[in-house]
Amino acid sequence: MKSESVISLLKKLSDKEISSVELTQSCIGEINTRNSEINAFISVTAESALINAAEADRKRMSGEPIGALNGIPFAVKDNICTVGIRTTCASRMLEHFIPPYSATAVSRLTSAGAIIIGKTNMDEFAMGSASDTSFFGAVKNPLNTAYTAGGSSGGSAAALAANTCAFALGSDTGGSVRQPASFCGLVGMKPTYGTVSRYGLIAFSPSLEQICPITKNVADNALLLELMHGRDNMDESTLDRSDSLIPEDSVVKGIKIGLPIKLLDTVDADISSAVLGAAECLRAAGAELYECEFPDTDAALAAYYVISSAEASSNLSRFDGVRYGYTASGAESVDGLFTKSRTEAFGDEVKKRIILGSFCLSHGAREMYYEKALAAKIKLRRDCEELLKKYDAVLLPIAPSAAYPLERKSADTLEHWRNDALCVIASLTGLPELAVPFGKTAGGMPTGVGFMGRAFEEKLLYKLGLAIEEGGVKYD
Amino acid sequence: MNKQFFDIQKTAHLSRLSLSTEEQTRMSEEISRFAEFADILSELEIGGTCTEGAYSCGTRGDVPCVNRTELTDLTDGERIYGEYIRVPLTVEEE
């Protein structure tokens, strides 16, 4: 099944060229071969996956009604709840947590017949962009294990790039699906805020995050988002969207695309070349390209870290050693139990963000940072609305570089956080952004580009993605 | 950054975390650097303060806003800001 898309596998299953058991066994074989090297999975559910695969085959053979994804194995980021399957958030705090329910996004996929094959590694509580803050160790890029797979959904991207599943779910708060997808030569979509239910996603920053599909191609991504999206009474922020997200074609003639050319001065030459190459490809296909300005990425980055850390400090206060997760021993008071449990179970990055968030919400600092960040968020939304009145979409880099060697990660927190600067605008504004692979670096690692569009216009972004997929340099 | 606000020991205590001296020094430096960077938010032209004085929305007058209409959206009484976000609990210094 190497490099096969979901749609191609569905056809083979339908034509009885392969069975779901064979497909699942193939994925388990790849996990057994690759996971010790890339550390993409925290938990593997081989036994239940094979049982579910056999049931999927039985249904198909007997002619019973089957779902759109019957027999397709997939991996789930370990901050997305799966009933009866350990869900750790890559943290010692939730090392043994088994959820009593599944996230709505997962339930919709399993109801369509998809089969969970395992839970993927990530940055602890999704805080990071290199998948190296995990309690379970760093994820490595399967395309070159000396390189990062990106983060925080690095395990999901690595699992898919290593052909251990047919697709994967991640969560994106400030680029956590788009960047690892880009680093691993895959497609990742952060849809408009409210498109996919967050019910069952363990909260880090609920005003920003969405559960997102990571796939091998654009058509798969559209199919999966179509199956996951929609109103959920368990998440009041979800939207009742009746529109189809699947593009009918890849015709881009007449589509107006803004290209924030000055941004290209801030990224590596390989990334700049990829964006310009994608622009050329779209122009050749009939799209109209225009140079444009782009909102201030420094202000967006500051607002993002203030807001997300503030929300994290509030959301993670529930982990107190009593109601959830790890409980420290030897505490002499209840207050001491809270502090000891949290101190022993949270990693360094999580502690840093909790403290930053608590500071941003504290008396005096709240007005200086938190409230100003909220105002900046409103301003960014207006700036993007103005921009997207002129253009149907904006073509931009996803990250300043392609995947980098693990040891090259900056020890300086602010410098490392700057890697998120290009993704956080779509996060803060709630707008959809699609990451699509396009070309390679001189060193052979995949490069990717992004399309940011108007709210609810995922279909148009998929159309643009299809167009560059057809005209681009595929990463194998 | 106005450093008088930032006290790593107090903030860690409010966050129910205990940090070693070395951790306190390192995180204090990192957060101070970020806070200095985040001062860019103060420099943004995101509108002035509300000059109406009525604050019918209940929001304090020093909340920066894009315009009065936006300020009306900041319904402090309900503690709902904008379209999506419920404001996290405020950690007030004791």
Give yes or no: A176 in active site: yes
pLDDT for residue B52: 40
Reported as a pLDDT band with limits 50, 70 and 90, residue B76 is very low
Q: Is the pLDDT of residue A92 over 70?
A: yes
Tell me if residue A197 is catalytic: no
Q: Which residues of B touch A376 (CB under 8 A)?
A: 41, 44, 46
CA–CA dist A136, A119 (Å, integer)? 12
Rounded average pLDDT over A253-263? 97
Specify the pLDDT at position A324.
Answer: 81
Establish if A413 touches chain B: CB-CB under 8 angstroms: yes
pLDDT at residue B85 greater than cutoff 50:
no
- Interface probe, candidates B91, B92, B94, chain A, greatest A C-beta count within 10 A: B91
Interface of A with B in 202-231 (CB under 8 A): 207
Indicate which of A197, A371, A412 best probes the interface with B, i.e. most B CBs within 10 Å of its own CB: A371
More confident site: A30 or A476: A30
pLDDT computed for residue B88 by the predictor: 36
What percent of chain B is predicted at pLDDT more than 90?
Answer: 29
Nearest-Cα residue of chain B relative to residue A371:
B63
Three-state helix/strand/coil letters over chain A = CCCCCHHHHHHHHHCCCCCHHHHHHHHHHHHHHHHHHHCCEEEECHHHHHHHHHHHHHHHHHCCCCCCCCCCEEEEECCECECCECCCCCCHHHCCCCCCCCCHHHHHHHHCCCEEEEEECCCHHHCCCCCCCCCCCCCECCCCCCEECCCCCHHHHHHHHCCCCCEEEEEECCCCCHHHHHHCCCEEEECCCCCCCCCCECCCCCCCCEEEEEECCHHHHHHHHHHHCCCECCECCCCCCCCCCCCCCCCCCCCEEEECHHHHHHCCHHHHHHHHHHHHHHHHCCCEEEECCCCCHHHHHHHHHHHHHHHHHHHHHHCCCCCCCCCCCCCCCHHHHHHHHHHHHCCHHHHHHHHHHHHHCCCCHHHHHHHHHHHHHHHHHHHHHHHHHHCCEEEEECCCCCCCEHHHCCCCHHHHHHHHCCCHHHHHHCCCEEEEEEEECCCCCEEEEEEEECCCCHHHHHHHHHHHHHHCCCCC
Bigger pLDDT: A170 or B39? A170
Provide the pLDDT for residue B45.
62
- Give per-residue pLDDT as tens, A217-243: 999 999 999 999 999 999 988 988 888
Q: Is the pLDDT of residue A141 over 70?
A: yes
Judge whether A424 is closer than 8 Å to chain B, CB to CB. no
Residue B68 pLDDT exceeds 60 = no
What value does the mean pLDDT take over residues A259-282?
97
Assess whether pLDDT exceeds 80 at residue B90.
no
The DSSP symbol for B8 reads: H
Q: Looking at residues B13-42, what average pLDDT do you find?
A: 92
Query: In A111-148, which positions are buried (b, 16+ CB within 10 angstroms) versus exposed (e)?
Result: ebbbbbbbbbbbbbbbbbbbbbbbbbebbbbbbeeebb
pLDDT in tens, A302-342: 999 999 999 999 999 999 999 889 999 999 999 999 999 99
Asked whether A260 and A272 are in contact (CB, 8 A), the reply is: no
Judged by CB atoms within 8 Å, which residues 44-83 of B form the interface with A? Answer: 44, 46-47, 62-66, 70, 74, 81-82
Task: Return the percentage of chain A with pLDDT > 90, whole number.
Answer: 89
**Of A143-152, A320-329, A465-474, B8-17, highest mean pLDDT:** A143-152
A352 is catalytic: no
pLDDT at A3 (0 to 100) = 80
User: Residue A112: which of A225, A236, A211 has the closest Cα?
Assistant: A225
**Residue A131 and residue A150: Cα distance in Å, rounded?**
6
Residue from B9, B29, B34, B74 to probe the interface with A (highest A Cβ count within 10 Å): B34
3 state DSSP class of B86: strand
**Quick check: A300 pLDDT over 70?**
yes
pLDDT at position B75 is 38
pLDDT at res. B78 = 33
Q: Which of A96, A115, A123 is nearest to A39 (CA)?
A: A123
Query: Of the given ranges (A47-61, A167-181, A281-295, A357-371), which has the lowest mean pLDDT?
Result: A357-371
What is the longest distance spanned by two Cα atoms in chain A? 70
If you average pLDDT over each of A343-352, A467-476, B48-57, which comes out highest? A343-352
pLDDT confidence band for B38 (50 / 70 / 90): very high
Q: B-chain residues within 8 Å CB-CB of A365? A: 5-6
Q: Across chain A, what does the average pLDDT equal?
A: 95
pLDDT single digits (tens) A343-396: 999 999 999 999 999 999 888 788 889 888 988 888 898 899 999 999 999 999
pLDDT at residue number B56: 39
Which ipTM was obtained for this model?
Answer: 0.89
Degrees, nearest 5: CA angle A263-A264-A267: 100
Inter-chain residue contact A378 with B46, CB threshold 8 Å: yes
pLDDT at B2: 53
pLDDT of residue A98: 97
